[in-house]
Amino acid sequence: ILNVEQSPQSLHVQEGDSTNFTCSFPSSNFYALHWYRWETAKSPEALFVMTLNGDEKKKGRISATLNTKEGYSYLYIKGSQPEDSATYLCARINAGNMLTFGGGTRLMVKP
Amino acid sequence: SAVISQKPSRDICQRGTSLTIQCQVDSQVTMMFWYRQQPGQSLTLIATANQGSEATYESGFVIDKFPISRPNLTFSTLTVSNMSPEDSSIYLCSVSDRSNQPQHFGDGTRLSIL
């Protein structure tokens, strides 16, 4: 994998459903992976910074896992709510603290 | 976390004109970055704004098109020069102090070129 890739591009779920998305990234020279949540007309908000293989982080109903050897991270949302509707971005940190972003997963939660 | 004020929040500009976007931070920060998100594309780094020296541009971005200033540790500007419809994007500034900390973003500038 040469770039940071996210799937799916978009996702529609019903309120109360649990869901997950994938972020794939180059596994060589890994520093850290960031997850951000970006609501329309707002600034991207940091969710997690993940650095170690096997990391699992949780913030409320949202959690993430990291596999640096195979180059992927999963973001999980348990019991989705309409306010979870946003674009979820992952980004790989390069040397110099520069972020390479994936294309994002746009989540829409229907009430 | 740092509070970032980005102006303008949106603008509609004529082809061939230039627009300067400002990014003000409420505290001194080590690193400031400028990003662009074209419609349907991922967020892409334009350049790293360096205090007191020329910005470091990523592949595909040049100083003549996107001049950047950073006179101090709390302020930076990005100019989009000689605009064309392809420059219609969301432009974001972000700041960071350490590589193991998340970046903090401004609210973005939504730019449309007619």
Q: Mind telling me how many Å the CA of B39 is from chain A's nearest CA?
A: 11
Q: In angstroms, what separates the C-alpha of B96 from chain A's closest C-alpha?
A: 8
Give B58's DSSP letter. Answer: P
Under DSSP, is residue A84 helix (H, G, I), strand (E, B) or coil? helix
Q: To the nearest 10°, the Cα dihedral for A41, A12, A23, A38? A: 10
pLDDT band at B87 (very low <50, low <70, confident <90, very high): very high
Q: Which residues of chain A have pLDDT under 50?
A: none
Average pLDDT over all residues of chain A: 93
Main-chain dihedrals φ then ψ at residue A69, nearest 5 degrees: -75, -40
Residue B3's SS3 state is coil
How many whole angstroms separate alpha carbon B6 and alpha carbon B47?
Answer: 16
pLDDT of residue A75: 98
B99 pLDDT more than 80: no
A98 closest CB neighbour out of B45, B102, B105: B45
Q: B31, B101, B103: which to substitute to probe chain A, counting the most A Cβ within 10 Å?
A: B103
Please give the Cα distance from B8 to B110 (Å, whole number).
8
Instruction: Give the model's confidence band at B46: pLDDT under 50 very low, under 70 low, under 90 confident, else very high.
Output: very high
Cβ contact (<8 Å) for A102 and B42? Answer: yes
